[in-house]
C-alpha cells in the first residue's frame, strides 16, 4: 500500500510518467418501447422493460499529474486487448517517455506476458521493458486513482440505457475529450503518513 501512495507523492516525470489503469464492463441495454421525451411540466418517461444487447468493456488509463486520460471501448478484455491498449498508450500518447509506470490490479491479463500475444518475442520483450508495473494489494483497488475516474464516467455517461457499443463509445469519448480539454484531475489526499495512522493495527509491532 505504501509503495502506491509513495508513487502518488512523487513529482511528475515526463520520462517516466505515472498512469493508473483499469477496466469496466458495460451492459448494452435498449428500450422495448420508445421513451416519451420531456415536455413542459412532465419528466422524461420510459418503460421498465428493456432488451439486452450484449456487453462491451471500457479500458481507461488516467494520468493524475497532467489530468489526461486515454479511453478505449472494446468488445472484450482479453490479454490481446490489454496489450493493444498499452502499446497505444506508449507509442501514441507517450512516444518520448523512457518507460511508463502503471498502477493496476492483479488481473491475470495485466502482465507483460500479454505483449507476447500480439508481438514476436523480441519485440514483446522490448515493449515490456518500457513499462514498470505496480500492483495494488488484493482487495485494495480503491488505491487506484482511476477508480475515481471510472466512477465519474459512469455517473455522467453510463447511468442510463445505451443500446450499442458504437453509441457508448461516441458518448464516452466525447465526455472524455472535454475532461482532457479542461485537464480535470484528482486531488489525492491519502498519504503514507495518514495510512500509518488509519491502519496502525495492521502494521507489525517493533520488537525491542
Pairing relationship of beta strands 18-31 and 50-63 according to DSSP bridges: antiparallel
pLDDT of residue 92: 96
Q: And the C-alpha cell for 203? A: 502494521
Cβ-based neighbours of 186, under 8 Å, separated by 6 or more: 62, 64, 145, 148, 149
Tens of pLDDT, residue by residue over 40-50, are 876 655 556 55
Per DSSP bridges, beta strands 68-74 and 50-63 are: antiparallel
Does residue 208 belong to any structural domain of this protein? no
Residue 150 domain flag: yes
CATH number at residue 156: 3.30.420.10
Inside any domain, residue 41: no
Q: Residues of the chain with pLDDT > 70: what percent?
A: 90
pTM for this prediction? 0.86
Residue 112: inside a domain: yes
Say how many domains are in the chain.
1
Domain span including residue 94: 2-33+46-200
CA distance 118 to 121: 9
Least confident of 23-27, 88-92, 196-200, 204-208: 204-208
Q: Give pLDDT tens digits for 129-144.
A: 999 999 999 888 889 9
Amino acid at each position: 500500500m505504501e509503495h502506491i501512495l509513495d508513487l502518488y507523492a512523487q513529482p511528475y516525470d515526463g520520462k517516466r510518467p505515472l498512469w493508473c489503469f483499469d477496466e469496466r464492463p458495460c451492459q448494452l441495454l435498449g428500450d422495448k418501447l420508445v421513451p416519451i421525451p420531456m415536455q413542459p411540466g412532465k419528466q422524461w418517461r420510459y418503460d421498465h422493460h428493456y432488451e439486452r444487447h450484449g456487453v462491451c468493456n471500457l479500458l481507461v488509463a488516467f494520468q493524475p499529474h497532467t489530468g489526461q486520460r486515454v479511453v478505449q471501448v472494446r468488445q472484450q478484455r482479453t490479454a490481446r486487448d490489454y496489450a493493444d491498449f498499452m502499446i497505444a498508450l506508449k507509442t501514441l500518447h507517450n512516444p518520448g517517455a523512457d518507460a511508463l509506470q502503471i498502477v493496476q490490479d492483479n488481473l491475470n491479463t495485466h502482465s507483460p506476458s500479454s505483449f507476447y500475444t500480439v508481438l514476436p518475442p523480441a519485440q514483446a520483450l522490448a515493449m515490456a521493458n518500457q513499462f514498470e508495473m505496480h500492483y495494488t494489494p488484493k482487495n485494495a483497488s480503491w488505491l487506484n486513482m482511476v477508480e475515481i475516474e471510472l466512477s465519474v464516467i459512469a455517473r455522467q455517461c453510463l447511468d442510463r440505457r445505451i443500446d450499442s457499443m458504437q453509441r457508448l463509445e461516441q458518448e464516452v469519448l466525447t465526455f472524455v475529450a472535454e475532461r482532457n480539454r479542461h485537464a480535470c484531475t484528482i486531488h489525492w489526499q491519502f498519504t503514507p503518513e495518514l495510512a500509518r495512522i488509519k491502519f496502525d493495527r495492521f502494521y507489525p509491532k517493533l520488537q525491542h
